[in-house]
Amino acid sequence: DTEVTQTPKHLVMGMTNKKSLKCEQHMGHRAMYWYKQKAKKPPELMFVYSYEKLSINESVPSRFSPECPNSSLLNLHLHALQPEDSALYLCASSQGRISGNTIYFGEGSWLTVV
């Protein structure tokens, strides 16, 4: 069983809505990630937080806004999304160190934008 917990598992939202995806880990990891995965495609990196600071932003549109309130929590705030943003959103965490930095994924949040 994964130790990275994501909520909600499914989310349907309109293009004018504001919603959030949440992620929690209790492994003491100091790096947390958001990935986006479309059907039959590999996970695509969106953001990385390292020691609660945003360290990587892969040129993601501003309608996606990440937040890391503390070392265990990661949020992804969604606003004015487009139908093409519908995908599986994966949260992951790792120890955040130079060696032995394996990433562990949550089960994902399925997002449908209507």
CB 11 within 8 A of CB 111: yes
| Residue 110 found at the interface with other proteins (CB under 8 A) | yes
Interface residue with other proteins among 8, 101, 112, 114 (CB under 8 A) is 101
The correct pick among 28, 69, 83, 100 for binding other proteins (CB under 8 A) is 100
The pattern of x and - marking residues 27 through 46 that bind other proteins according to CB under 8 A reads ----x-x-------xxxxx-
Q: Which of residues 58-87 bind other proteins (CB under 8 A)?
A: none
In the list 38, 97, 112, 114, the residue contacting other proteins (rule: CB under 8 A) is 97
28 phi and psi, to 5 degrees?
75, 15
The closest alpha carbon to 32, from 71, 2, 58, 88, belongs to 71
- Confirm if 66 and 49 have CB atoms less than 8 A apart: yes
Q: Per rule CB under 8 A, is residue 48 in the interface with other proteins?
A: yes
Q: Indicate whether 93 belongs to the interface with other proteins (CB under 8 A).
A: no
Taking the CA atoms of residue 58, residue 68, residue 31 and residue 29 in that order, the dihedral angle to the nearest 10 degrees is -160
